[in-house]
Chains A and B, each alone.
Chain A
Amino acid sequence: MKNIDAIGHVRGESIYLDDIPLIQGTLFGAAYGSPVAHGFIRALDISAAEQHPGVVCVLTYRDVRGENQIGGIIPDEPLFAEQHVHFCGMPMAFVIAVSEKAAREAVGMIKAEIEPLPVITDPREAQTNGALIIPPRTFRLGDVDEAWSLCTHIVEGRADTNGQEHLYIETQGAYAIPQENNVLRVYSSTQAPTAVQRAVAKVTGLPMHALDISVTRLGGGFGGKEDQANVWAALCALACMRVGKPVKYSVPRTEDMIMTGKRHPYSSDFKIGLDKDLKILAYEVTFYQNAGAAADLSPAVLERTLFHCTNSYFVPHVRATAYSCRTHLPPNTAFRGFGGPQGMFVIEAAIAKTAEILGIDAAVIQKRNLHQTGDTFPYGQPAESEAHACWQKAEDLYVVTAIRKEVEEFNHSHILFKKGMAFMPVCFGISFTKTLMNQARALVHVYTDGSVLVTTGAVEMGQGVNTKMMQVAATVLSIDPGLVKIQSTSTYKIANTSPSAASATADLNGKAVQMACTEILRRLKEVAARELGVAVELIELKKGMVRVDGVPSDMDWKKLVLAAFARRVSLSEHAHYATPGIHFDPEKEKGHPFAYHVYGTAIVVATMDCLRGRYTIDAVRVVHDFGVSMNSLIDKGQIEGGIVQGIGWMTMEEVLYDTSGRLRSNTLSTYKVPDIYSVPEEISIEALHTERDNLAIFRSKAVGEPPLMYGIGAYFALRNAIRAFNPSADLPFSAPLTPEKALMGLYDKQHVTA
């Protein structure tokens, strides 16, 4: 089934935040962000801005009615800077004016006198100084200290991955509109309506029931609008209360890039030990997460790094320690994969380094150590593994021997170009790692004309969740999907929602829709049984018709609905779903945090232009564990998009801060995401169909995040291509592998083979 939003999209009729028709009298906001990364505020002069024609008022921390605090997990993030600034772009003032132009001009008139304090951008330096967001966490399995003595090969090293700008094409924004009786409606481009509601409640002092946070759709989120959407909504809400008029702030791109956090950069140390048969016995890793200036979601991201630190491999002895380090960057945040990719990169680097030292193909080590069903993850959950099945299917289907031969022959016959290949197995846990977040609600109304309206807490941001929700409703009720409409979410319709994140949105909300529809169906069957005078067990609804013992009756869906209404039977249901069986004890760092895992294997081939240092990723060939895909077009799109986003992270996307904490890659001309020419010529996706029962909706496993990590294979394929040209290159494990790093590696020590 096609995405139900597609027609609106291709006609340009889908409504995003900046497209909402303006209410008369709407005012416009613009934020003044700190020009320095760390300092003590001596003075903030807003007088010129206040006098500027068109300006209505200028808000600072003094105007916060409730608490000047928007931190989600930890209350450590003021909305407005008070005495200190902690990152460049930290909001210090918010100008409200009759036009966007006037507001922006006035922002240019604000002057801050800030006494600079030392700026730290390096997480290791922050850790040395004891600047941590939360105490360090350690996951343990077996006894790593004992295990080293059993190892034949021990390899140590360091691996670094940089941040990643979300670059949703629709920037952040909010539009707050006053309602009667002290209620505010806030349109927000957020993945997390309830998080916005909480943040706005806190800063305004309004109870949550006075805040209708409404989301139509997002022009991309990728994690960047999970907690980071709170700021703009809080600013607009405060302003709206102050002036009693609607206030809108659609954040310009450069401000968005400067003021918002990104994927966490990580710096890590690893030590890996293998026996003579190349079985990994021990793995010790220390992660230094660059959290930025406030917690945001960093502790949760950190936790997922630990959960995924051994990727698809079984390692009997593991000690993984993670530090969430406070630096003077904007608070880093969720980004597709949520710490998982950063953890996986390190063990892949450890394996690659070992292979390079031993002079063997990393795939040998990778394959030998894939975990089996029953093997335990370092956090105690036993695996239901599809790792081998995916790997083996990929090897066979894509004829790896032929790929390998092609690469070797190419390298033998070319001097200026070299190819490299790499395997990238992925194992990703599905569920919010914070167990309490694994709950969702759905509201289903059946109207007397037979049409159905479904509302959930799911936010549509391109992942196709609306389509999947419609499929669930139409399937359970066995009616034409055209009868089902998905209503956009709002905190007035669905309360206490979890964000649309963690790849779990379709599962959680889909299960709730399934429950609501099942309950309505149950009542309708009873009605049908009474209307037709037969036992309810004989009633079945199929393709919009009531069947009795398999034989179609003359009662169709519409008649049935009307009959139910006439009998005063409820045609609405609000259902609640909570993922069963999951738990985690953060004291012991053990439990069963995931409903299930998604597996896959990618084979990546890349070609390096050894004269210029630029490159192409030629092919990504994947076997992906779908369970049973409920929408192959949408799921394929998620995989292709995830792969390309992962490749971007590993190759050209370079977040650059200078040592004073200023973002240098603050425009689309300095921060490059993949364009149509930089995507692999071939992306092949083959399903591993698994019939095993799981907790996914209709056994269709989550597909949002896992594919991003196939992109990690691009780094290692490129690295292998560089080493084919210059085997003595001393290449740090540092992503992204930009053309700059590639060229420096190709000519490291100036060694060239013909």
Chain B
Amino acid sequence: MIRFILNNELIVADDPPGMLLLDLIRYRERLMGTKIGCREGDCGACTVLIGELKEGRMVYRSATSCLTALGNVHQRHVVTVEGVNQEGVNPLQQAICEEGGTQCGFCTPGFIVSMAGFCLSGKAPTQAGARAAVDGNICRCTGYKSIERALTRMVKDLGGMSDEPASFLVDKGILPVYFKQIPQRLAALALEPNGVLRSERGDVNRFLGGGTDLYVQRPEAMVEAEIDFLSVRGDLKGIVEEDGRCVIGGAATVTDLIESPVIRTAFPRFDHYAHLISSTPIRNIATVAGNFVNASPIGDLTIFFLALDAQLLLSDGKLRRELPLRRFFLGYKELGKKAEEFIEKISFRLPDADEHFHFEKVSKRTCLDIASVNTAMRVRMKGAVVEEGLISAGGVGPVPVCLEGASLLMAGRRVDEELVQEVVGMARSEVKPISDARGTAAYKLLLLGQLIKSHFLTLFPQLSVVRVLEI
């Protein structure tokens, strides 16, 4: 049995835990405010909030219900647009109405829910933050300007936000009063006999993290699958520093990365990188490990962690083994992992003061898109000389790769324009991109070189821009 609170109601569902939350919301509970636009997490019309009790406090995150399994909301609070409705319109809804931020209206409930999620996040009320909260919501009518104006109103309304967002929002009339009781109700729910999320037959045939890839690839099969839900396991969470290494739990999400002090310290530009990677509701549920296991030749985090020479700790529940991420990808969608294994931990050595790191990505649409080419570079300097370098690249072959030749070439060299030229040349000679929906092979080759130049220009500002461009 899966139990969770949907808006103000307790739901006890004996449906398969692999069933999609969206289908339960719309076709069982007939809450029709949650819309279906794409069923692949790319439009945000089905956005809901998922709240969980963490150390006595509610943490709410937006998520696309079209990719969320019921098993992943067990003992959580799920909020749809109906759950933020009160008599008349609340101030968020009022702002959208006043600014003309709704035309056909189909995407609107998703925006309202994302906005409510921003309010509940407790984040500092800024325009940039508010925009980021709706970065997973696509509107085809308004051109977003009116929505931006509505966000400005919302940000104003949030002035004086307390550390108890839900109370503040209830008092302000932004959310209904039942939100105040949710922590107690969830705590009580946690004490009830738990639902069985693991297969009763014990023959788990699927591991599931956030589901953002599996539910795009095989939604029908997932409903009936015997699923081991990794994302609900507390032991797989967390991002910590251990002996100079960063250790990331197998169920840590991209949002966990963004919010991790360890990551933020090690990668001062991480916010910028994250901005280029999917969208808020997807980052909230997608796991880092899932990005690897998905085996896409172009996973952004895969490329990021390849350049860090990350290590995986694989487990089948009994035995564990370590494997470098570089050896994880055997062929197109083929992994160095047994079916019964899952990624328990990811670790990498934290860069020290002599190490520099950069990530680049270009896609047809800058945000919320899959890369045409992505690449990361890490270099360890000894004075003016490169001691060791590693460049990874995606979108240039059947698997995400480390550019071994280009990486080796850097060792022992001073960083100058000639080195950039040689690295670019070597990198291009090492890959064999194909033409597809994300670009022609010729483009990807050119782009790879440009992005490597960008690594160098970003990390070594003394380089001559003109000379690097002329390469």
| Partner-binding segment picked from A83-91, A266-274, A289-297, A670-678 | A670-678
User: Nearest Cβ distance between residue B79 and chain A, in whole angstroms?
Assistant: 12
**Does B89 contact A220, Cβ atoms closer than 8 Å?**
no
| Partner-binding segment picked from A479-487, A503-511, A610-618 | A610-618
Contacts of B438 in A (CB 8 A): 670
Q: Is A669 an interface residue (CB 8 A)?
A: yes
User: Nearest Cβ distance between residue A652 and chain B, in whole angstroms?
Assistant: 5
Q: Is B144 an interface residue (CB 8 A)?
A: yes
| Partner-binding segment picked from B91-99, B192-200, B410-418 | B91-99
**Does B469 contact A652, Cβ atoms closer than 8 Å?**
no
Given contacts A10-B108, A11-B93, A169-B104, contact A678 B367 (CB under 8 A): yes
> Among residues 47 to 76 in chain B, which have CB atoms less than 8 Å away from a CB atom of chain A?
none
**Does A667 contact B140, Cβ atoms closer than 8 Å?**
no
Contact of B366 among A9, A219, A677 (CB under 8 A): A677
Q: Is B396 an interface residue (CB 8 A)?
A: no
**Does A170 contact B35, Cβ atoms closer than 8 Å?**
yes
**Does A613 contact B450, Cβ atoms closer than 8 Å?**
yes
Q: Is B131 an interface residue (CB 8 A)?
A: yes
Q: Is A641 an interface residue (CB 8 A)?
A: yes
**Does B100 contact A637, Cβ atoms closer than 8 Å?**
yes
**Does A665 contact B437, Cβ atoms closer than 8 Å?**
yes
Contacts of B107 in A (CB 8 A): 169, 219
Given contacts A640-B146, A675-B367, contact A12 B100 (CB under 8 A): no
Contacts of A8 in B (CB 8 A): 105
Proximity string of chain B (364-387) to chain A, C-beta cutoff 8 Å, 1 when within and 0 when not: 111111101000000000000000
Interface size class of A (residues with CB under 8 A): 35 or more
Q: How far is the CA of A656 from the CA of B465 in the complex (A)?
A: 35
**Does B105 contact A14, Cβ atoms closer than 8 Å?**
yes
Proximity string of chain B (25-55) to chain A, C-beta cutoff 8 Å, 1 when within and 0 when not: 0000011111111111011010000000000
Q: How far is the CA of A670 from the CA of B437 in the complex (A)?
A: 7
Q: How far is the CA of A16 from the CA of B109 in the complex (A)?
A: 13
**Does A10 contact B89, Cβ atoms closer than 8 Å?**
yes
User: Nearest Cβ distance between residue B249 and chain A, in whole angstroms?
Assistant: 27
Proximity string of chain A (662-701) to chain B, C-beta cutoff 8 Å, 1 when within and 0 when not: 0011011110111111110001000000000000000000
User: Nearest Cβ distance between residue B433 and chain A, in whole angstroms?
Assistant: 12
Contact of B372 among A12, A167, A219, A740 (CB under 8 A): A740
Contact of A217 among B105, B146, B363 (CB under 8 A): B105
Q: How far is the CA of A633 from the CA of B101 in the complex (A)?
A: 10
Contacts of A134 in B (CB 8 A): none
Q: How far is the CA of A380 from the CA of B393 in the complex (A)?
A: 59
User: Nearest Cβ distance between residue A699 and chain B, in whole angstroms?
Assistant: 21
User: Nearest Cβ distance between residue B85 and chain A, in whole angstroms?
Assistant: 5
Q: Is B470 an interface residue (CB 8 A)?
A: yes
User: Nearest Cβ distance between residue B67 and chain A, in whole angstroms?
Assistant: 12
**Does A645 contact B143, Cβ atoms closer than 8 Å?**
yes
| Partner-binding segment picked from A199-207, A397-405, A457-465, A570-578 | A457-465
Q: Is A643 an interface residue (CB 8 A)?
A: yes
**Does A634 contact B100, Cβ atoms closer than 8 Å?**
yes
> Among residues 1 to 36 in chain A, which have CB atoms less than 8 Å away from a CB atom of chain B?
2-3, 5-16, 18-19, 21
**Does B104 contact A19, Cβ atoms closer than 8 Å?**
no
Given contacts A10-B89, A676-B137, contact A18 B103 (CB under 8 A): no
Q: How far is the CA of A275 from the CA of B217 in the complex (A)?
A: 60
Contacts of B80 in A (CB 8 A): 12
B366 nearest CB neighbor, chain A only = A614
A21 nearest CB neighbor, chain B only = B30
Q: How far is the CA of A222 from the CA of B238 in the complex (A)?
A: 46
B145 nearest CB neighbor, chain A only = A640
User: Nearest Cβ distance between residue B260 and chain A, in whole angstroms?
Assistant: 24
**Does A738 contact B135, Cβ atoms closer than 8 Å?**
no
User: Nearest Cβ distance between residue A3 and chain B, in whole angstroms?
Assistant: 7
**Does B89 contact A7, Cβ atoms closer than 8 Å?**
yes
Contact of B33 among A11, A613, A652, A738 (CB under 8 A): A11
| Partner-binding segment picked from B152-160, B328-336, B341-349, B451-459 | B451-459
Contact of A743 among B108, B144, B443 (CB under 8 A): B443
Contacts of B457 in A (CB 8 A): 416, 611
> Among residues 437 to 471 in chain B, which have CB atoms less than 8 Å away from a CB atom of chain A?
437-440, 442-443, 446-447, 450-451, 453-454, 457, 465-466, 469-470
> Among residues 245 to 264 in chain A, which have CB atoms less than 8 Å away from a CB atom of chain B?
250, 252-253
**Does B143 contact A640, Cβ atoms closer than 8 Å?**
yes
Contact of A664 among B34, B89, B436 (CB under 8 A): B436
Q: How far is the CA of A664 from the CA of B435 in the complex (A)?
A: 12
**Does A683 contact B143, Cβ atoms closer than 8 Å?**
yes
**Does B469 contact A613, Cβ atoms closer than 8 Å?**
no
Q: Is B138 an interface residue (CB 8 A)?
A: yes
> Among residues 722 to 754 in chain A, which have CB atoms less than 8 Å away from a CB atom of chain B?
738-740, 743-744, 747, 750, 752, 754
Q: Is A644 an interface residue (CB 8 A)?
A: yes
Q: Is B350 an interface residue (CB 8 A)?
A: no
Proximity string of chain A (221-238) to chain B, C-beta cutoff 8 Å, 1 when within and 0 when not: 110000000000000000
Contacts of A640 in B (CB 8 A): 142-146
**Does A9 contact B143, Cβ atoms closer than 8 Å?**
no
**Does A3 contact B42, Cβ atoms closer than 8 Å?**
no
Given contacts A169-B45, A754-B466, contact A678 B366 (CB under 8 A): yes
**Does B142 contact A669, Cβ atoms closer than 8 Å?**
no
User: Nearest Cβ distance between residue B367 and chain A, in whole angstroms?
Assistant: 5
**Does B143 contact A644, Cβ atoms closer than 8 Å?**
yes
User: Nearest Cβ distance between residue B451 and chain A, in whole angstroms?
Assistant: 7
Contacts of A744 in B (CB 8 A): 442-443, 446
**Does B100 contact A614, Cβ atoms closer than 8 Å?**
no
A219 nearest CB neighbor, chain B only = B106
Q: How far is the CA of A101 from the CA of B219 in the complex (A)?
A: 11
**Does B103 contact A462, Cβ atoms closer than 8 Å?**
yes
Q: How far is the CA of A628 from the CA of B416 in the complex (A)?
A: 63
Given contacts A641-B142, A668-B43, contact A169 B37 (CB under 8 A): yes
**Does B104 contact A10, Cβ atoms closer than 8 Å?**
no
Q: How far is the CA of A171 from the CA of B145 in the complex (A)?
A: 24
User: Nearest Cβ distance between residue A556 and chain B, in whole angstroms?
Assistant: 27
Q: How far is the CA of A18 from the CA of B138 in the complex (A)?
A: 19
User: Nearest Cβ distance between residue A462 and chain B, in whole angstroms?
Assistant: 3
User: Nearest Cβ distance between residue B368 and chain A, in whole angstroms?
Assistant: 5
Q: How far is the CA of A8 from the CA of B89 in the complex (A)?
A: 10
> Among residues 116 to 172 in chain B, which have CB atoms less than 8 Å away from a CB atom of chain A?
131, 134-135, 137-148
Contacts of A743 in B (CB 8 A): 443, 446-447, 450
Q: Is A590 an interface residue (CB 8 A)?
A: no
**Residue contacts A-B, CB under 8 angstroms, 19 given:** A10-B108, A169-B104, A219-B105, A416-B457, A611-B457, A612-B362, A613-B362, A668-B37, A668-B40, A669-B42, A669-B216, A672-B363, A673-B138, A676-B131, A676-B144, A677-B367, A679-B143, A739-B372, A743-B446
Interface of B with A (CB < 8 Å)?
Answer: 30-40, 42-43, 45, 80-82, 85, 88-89, 92-93, 96-98, 100, 102-109, 112, 131, 134-135, 137-148, 216, 220, 279, 360, 362-370, 372, 436-440, 442-443, 446-447, 450-451, 453-454, 457, 465-466, 469-470
Known contacts A12-B33, A219-B104; 11 additional CB pairs below 8 A are A9-B108, A13-B32, A19-B32, A217-B105, A253-B38, A652-B365, A656-B437, A668-B40, A668-B42, A672-B363, A739-B362
Interface of A with B (CB < 8 Å)?
Answer: 2-3, 5-16, 18-19, 21, 101, 104-105, 167-171, 217-222, 250, 252-253, 415-416, 461-464, 610-614, 633-634, 636-637, 640-645, 652, 654, 656, 664-665, 667-670, 672-679, 683, 738-740, 743-744, 747, 750, 752, 754
